[in-house]
C-alpha cells in the first residue's frame, strides 16, 4: 500500500518542480517596455524610435523585429531590421525581389512610389486572398544608412478606414534612428562573432 503513496508524492513533486522551472523561465524573459497609449516608442533592442498613434500599441519587440497592432481595427505593422544583407541593392531592386518572392499576393504594378521620410524609402502594395477575407498589404523599404535597411509591412483588412491607414503610414514613416551606427556595429559584431 505504501507504493501508491510514493508514486503520488513523486507526481506531486515533479509537478511542482516543473511549475517552478516554468516560472523561472518566464521570469528571465525580458519584459516588454511599458508604453503610453500613444507617443514615442523606442525599440528596446535596436534603439530606433517610432511615434505611435492612439489605438496602436507594441505587441512584440525582439532583436531586429517589432510588431505594433491596432486591435480595434485588426491591423498590424511589422518592422524588420537588416544589417548588411542586400545593402548593394537599391530600394526598387529590393521591391522587385520581394514582389517576385511573395506567394499568394497580387501586387499593384503602379504602387511602387517614393515615401515622404527623412530616409530614402520606397513603398508598394498588394492584396493577399480574395473576397471578404482578403487582406491589404503595404510594404515599405527604408535605407537609413549604409549597411542598414528597415522593412515595414502593414497588414489590414481591405476595408480599413482611411484615417487608420493614414495613422499606420504616419507610424511607419516616423521611424528615427538616433544612433544607427550603434545598431550597425551591434549586428556586425554578432554576425562576425567578434566582441
For the chain, 195 residues long, give each residue's pLDDT as a single digit of tens: 455 545 444 444 434 333 333 333 433 444 444 444 578 999 998 999 999 999 999 999 999 999 999 999 999 999 999 887 777 788 888 888 888 887 788 888 777 888 888 888 889 988 888 877 888 899 999 888 888 889 999 999 888 888 888 999 999 999 999 987 777 778 876 544 555
Measured between alpha carbons, how far is 67 from 79 in angstroms, rounded to an integer?
6
pLDDT of res. 60: 94
User: The C-alpha cell of 57 is what?
Assistant: 500599441
Backbone angles phi, psi at 32, to 5 degrees: -65, 140
pLDDT of res. 95: 84
Rounded alpha-carbon distances, angstroms, from residue 174 to 98, 104, 118: 23, 29, 8
Rounded alpha-carbon distances, angstroms, from residue 190 to 63, 85, 183, 184: 11, 14, 11, 10
pLDDT of res. 77: 96
pLDDT of res. 109: 74
Instruction: Provide the 3-class DSSP secondary structure of residue 116.
Output: coil
Amino acid at each position: 500500500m505504501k507504493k501508491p503513496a510514493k508514486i503520488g508524492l513523486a507526481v506531486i513533486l515533479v509537478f511542482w518542480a516543473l511549475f517552478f522551472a516554468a516560472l523561472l523561465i518566464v521570469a528571465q524573459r525580458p519584459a516588454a517596455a511599458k508604453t503610453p497609449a500613444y507617443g514615442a516608442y523606442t525599440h528596446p533592442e535596436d534603439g530606433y524610435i517610432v511615434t505611435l498613434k492612439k489605438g496602436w500599441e507594441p505587441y512584440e519587440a525582439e532583436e531586429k523585429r517589432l510588431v505594433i497592432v491596432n486591435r480595434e481595427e485588426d491591423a498590424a505593422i511589422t518592422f524588420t531590421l537588416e544589417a548588411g544583407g542586400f545593402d548593394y541593392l537599391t530600394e526598387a531592386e529590393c521591391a522587385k525581389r520581394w514582389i517576385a518572392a511573395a506567394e499568394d499576393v497580387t501586387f499593384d504594378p503602379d504602387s511602387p512610389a517614393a515615401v515622404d521620410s527623412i530616409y530614402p524609402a520606397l513603398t508598394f502594395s498588394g492584396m493577399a486572398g480574395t473576397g471578404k477575407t482578403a487582406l491589404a498589404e503595404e510594404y515599405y523599404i527604408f535605407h537609413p544608412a549604409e549597411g542598414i535597411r528597415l522593412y515595414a509591412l502593414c497588414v489590414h483588412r481591405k476595408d480599413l478606414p482611411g484615417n487608420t491607414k493614414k495613422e499606420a503610414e504616419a507610424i511607419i514613416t516616423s521611424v528615427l534612428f538616433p544612433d544607427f551606427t550603434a545598431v550597425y556595429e551591434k549586428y556586425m559584431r554578432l554576425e562576425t562573432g567578434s566582441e
